[in-house]
Amino acid sequence: MRTPLLPALFATLLVTSACATAGTTYLPKDGGGTDTAANPDTAVKTDAPVDPNCKKASPSNVCGVSPQCGCGANETCEVSQTALDGTSSCVSAGSNAIATTCTKTTDCSQGLTCVFGFCRPYCSTDGAKCPQPGTGNCVNLVDGSSNPIPNLLVCRLNCTLDNASSCGGGAGNCGPDDKGGTDCFPAGSSTSCSSSNPFTCQAGYVCLTSNLCKKWCKVGTTCPSGACGSFSTPVMIGSQEYGVCP
């Protein structure tokens, strides 16, 4: 069986308030760093000591993103996920660790941001390997026109495609990126999906161009319903090829 994935489903990370188009994924609004009273991540006043070595991020020039600096002991320098111009501010930090689920950045520990429903570190070089355990490569998120958003670079998360518990114990879904790695995304509970909303599939399943959610498996193994089938373009994570069950 040679089954196609939705075109480049996890290849492009897109931040937008509109619906995603085929071939992209999108960043649900999670309150990340907007300085308004209605937003859970409202900027907080900080009395952090001045660090002459702090490389503050423009255009705000309030604090540094990667490495984190310029904010208080229990604050994170957060890049706005709605302004999309690199604006940053100091927000209160929470207690959730890397790769744990979140709804907003203030849920996450100091220095972490909430992107695609998971706490993850900021990073500074697109495509470089992140140093934190459990993380993959650094990726620069883009806006609705596919333009890189200044300062909004985050680490992907390592996970296992056919392990439904590898992203937050089933609260998230593991998907392939465009560099031979993986990342965690929102999970749903449905058996059907679409190019505009691939996140309806339950953990351990992937959205196909047939608009059906199929279970990930390792090519060469047998599913209860038959042999694991390859994709028309092989999905390789390291040396392991992944496909879907019939």
- What tens digit of pLDDT does each residue of 115-161 get? 999 999 999 999 999 999 999 999 999 998 899 999 999 999 999 99
CB atoms inside a 10 Å sphere around CB 171: 15
Asked whether residue 104 is domain-assigned, the answer is: yes
Tell me, yes or no, whether 43 and 137 share the same domain. Answer: yes
Q: Are strands 230-231 and 2-3 parallel, antiparallel or unpaired?
A: parallel
Which tokens go with 159? 């996970």
CB 126 within 8 A of CB 149: no
Of the residues 99, 126, 158, which one is the last residue of a structural domain?
158
Number of H helices, E strands in the chain: 0, 18
Of the residues 158, 174, 191, which one is the last residue of a structural domain?
158
pLDDT single digits (tens) 82-92:
999 999 999 99
Strand runs (DSSP E) across 9-51, as ranges? 13-14, 25-26
Start-to-end Cα distance in the chain: 8
Tell me, yes or no, whether 184 and 121 share the same domain. Answer: no
Work out how many domains the chain is built from and give that number. Answer: 2
- The contacts of residue 50 (CB under 8 Å, 6+ apart) are none
Counting every residue written for the chain, the total comes to 246
Tell me, yes or no, whether 152 and 198 share the same domain. Answer: no
Is it the case that residue 217 has pLDDT exceeding 90? yes
Tell me, yes or no, whether 66 and 181 share the same domain. Answer: no
- Angle, vertex CA 170, rays to CA 167 and CA 174, nearest 5: 40
pLDDT of 129 reads 95
Tell me, yes or no, whether 44 and 130 share the same domain. Answer: yes
Q: What per-residue string of b and e applies to 14-38 under the rule 16 or more CB within 10 Å gives b?
A: bbbeeebeeebbbbeebbbbbbeee
Q: How far apart are CA 116 and CA 205, in angstroms?
A: 17
Tell me, yes or no, whether 111 and 195 share the same domain. Answer: no
**What's the rounded mean pLDDT across residues 2-27?**
34
Least confident window among 12-21, 52-61, 179-188, 196-205: 12-21
Q: Which structural domain range is residue 52 located in? A: 31-158
Of the residues 99, 127, 158, which one is the last residue of a structural domain?
158
Residue 209, judged by CB atoms within 10 A of its CB (0-12, 13-18, 19+), counts as: middle
Tell me, yes or no, whether 93 and 56 share the same domain. Answer: yes
